Structure 1
Amino acid sequence: MGDWLFLIIGIAVVGVLTLAGLLTSGRRRKGELPQGGTDVIVPTPTEGEVATDAPPEPAVAVEPDVAATPTLEKPEGTASRLVRLRQRLSRSQGGLGQGLLALLSRDRLDEDTWEAIEDTLLTADIGVAPTQSLVDKLRTRLRVEGGQTHDTRAVLREELIELVGTDMDRRLQVTGSDGKPGVVLVVGVNGAGKTTTVGKIARILVAEDLTVTLGAADTFRAAAVDQLATWGDRVGVAVVRGPEGSDPASVAFEAVKQGVDQGIDTVLVDTAGRLQNKAGLMDELSKVKRVIEKIAPVTEVLLVLDATTGQNGLIQARVFSEIVDVTGIVLTKLDGSAKGGIVVQVQRELGVPVKLVGLGEGPDDMAPFDAAAFVDALLG
């Protein structure tokens, strides 16, 4: 009887130890599960894929970590952006308008005065041809209306608005057709604020209740990918990214494919900063556009220009326009310069409108461009 008792006790002990081991193993496996994120990871393409325009293989999605989801921000609406940014622009650009008004309000508009007016306009980067055209119109109007009661400010305002342009379609084409998303390709040289611009546009679209996906196709600069992911996280927008140095066209394609599959309204694709004298990189940018259009048309190509670069910005604009058919301009850093005339010059150079302006470092310091509001800000 004693032997049987010892045998039963031994079996019970072994059973308890086995059960404890199974529970410990289960807890260890649960702790080893990968932590998720909001990104979609695009596999590195093979050399053959990089060399061709063939669509890449599907990406592998990482499940989101619900517990780590940050509190989403509510972006500012367009109306309040326009009011605030008009005030900022007025403070930074008012010197140009006030200088012109002071010259035009002189009792006698002699040749020295008109020459000073021309110099003021040229200094503001309006350009030689637009400056001469504006001065000729002002001279004619003020001479003809000189014997009548006239408002010099009103005359200047009307002519500046016409110069900036009221007949251009400045709407952003951010939605597609036939169930496909709008695809916005954002291009520009390093340092113009391109990645930041993509993030700010995403906020504008989210404020308008549009669904957005971001494509981090600037794969050669890890900081750009991380920066874009941060912008996306703040407003709950998914980011498609690939390993550092991977094919930008693969990332762009996958972002648009996800947009199509998920019924997203707009896909914003950030591209690497291109030096306009690097033919290979420009060819690569052209390839990105071709690959995207295998799945959905590109509805907008926005060229981001630093408003402080002046003539160099025009050279960049010209080259990009030849490669990817630019449809709109985004002017950044307009608040820190009195050279607002770059708006006039770049539009004349490309024949495409300025659609957005950035006037500060804040996340919502970007707004649609409005010719009348811009001129009013110039005049203070």
Structure 2
Amino acid sequence: LDAIADDQVALSQGVVRDVDANVVQLTSAASTGPGVSTWLFTPQAQNVGAGFVATFSFRVVDEAPIEGLAFVATRRPDGLDDIPTSTGSGLGYRFMTHTVAVAIDMCADRGDGDACEDQEIRLHYPDSPDGSNADMAGTKRVYDGVQRSLRYSNEVHTVSIEYLQRPDWIEVYLDDSLYLRKTGFDLEEVLGGRNAYIGLMSATGDVPATLEILNFTLETIEVEPSQTDAGTLTPDAETLDVVGDGEDAAGFTIQTRDLCGNVVQNGGYADYMKAWYVPVRTLDSVLDLNETRRVLEDSVDNETEWILYPDERVEATIVDNEDGSYTALLSSSDVDVYALYACFGPDCAYNWTSMEAMESSSFYSHVDFAVRVNALTPSPTRSPVDFVASANDDSNVLLYSAVGGGVAGFFLMLSMVLLF
């Protein structure tokens, strides 16, 4: 992760970018106020359920009473919105749910009211995902004291956190020395899922200190195209129907997995998904001898031969469902039946003459009769109808006319009498 690049990291208020020095000040004596918590996180949740290695370097550049910092993995329902404030020894993470924290506490004995002489590395996580780390003692699972000073030295210190789901352990290294190890630790069980935002948090007390992050890298067990689950995108899938209005859409979905075969629960690989809808027509349709055609191997029935027209293929719209699955959609105004050819991988492609895969390290699958685009059904139009008054209407009109005529005649006769 490049902590200077906007698209690589999300920063809270109080965090300062030093572009010239290419560092991020997680807390700053000059710019961060007292009694606040600060954070730096990946802008999207990462697939960390199967394992990860996170490494970062930091240094303290002044002699203010530094609180420390924490490595944090969280999948709280609100994501990075409205993170609760936890100042001082809370190091920012204390009231967060669905969260695991590795605290590098530079003042571990503050609870006794003594001077900050001891330091500690601790692993914190709640008993259930919806719990928080509010009870600091109850969520402290493993801890070890740091015998040498990490404060005020202006030295660069490097922390590495390594996790594997199988075997299930987490280890924390400080400057290449193993300080903490926890076995029987299942991150997915603790967080309530396999994906999480990964980052660093800190907090200030009465007098802020400057804490610089020099680098921050994260390696995960990424999606493995060859392990992709075909989902609904199989050759014998049921044909879907859409209306040929260019807006109605239907499609098929795949599910990605990592190298260990675990389901990937985060998105971000839409560029790997490629799919095309290829028209399929019966042999008795009008043929253009200049087009590339191929007989469909699996016919709808034994009496009809179907032909693929790859030259008329339509590129699918790929939807990242943000849960590790991807859908290839088709919407069209051309009435036709379409097969679907799809692949998942950074370099996947088809040879449209032979309809064969171009390379073997990606996922490939197809649906013989995927989508049927149907003609629009004309809506009935209202024909003009001449108004014909009913018998009652006619009687009323005549009655009103008769009454009106009688009254007018009476007034006319009265006027003539008055004149004479």
TM-score normalised by L of structure 1: 0.20
Structure that is richer in helix per residue? 1
Higher-Rg member (1/2)? 2
Structure that is richer in strand per residue? 2
TM-score normalised by L of structure 2: 0.19
Q: Which has the higher contact order (CA 8 A, sep 6+)?
A: 1
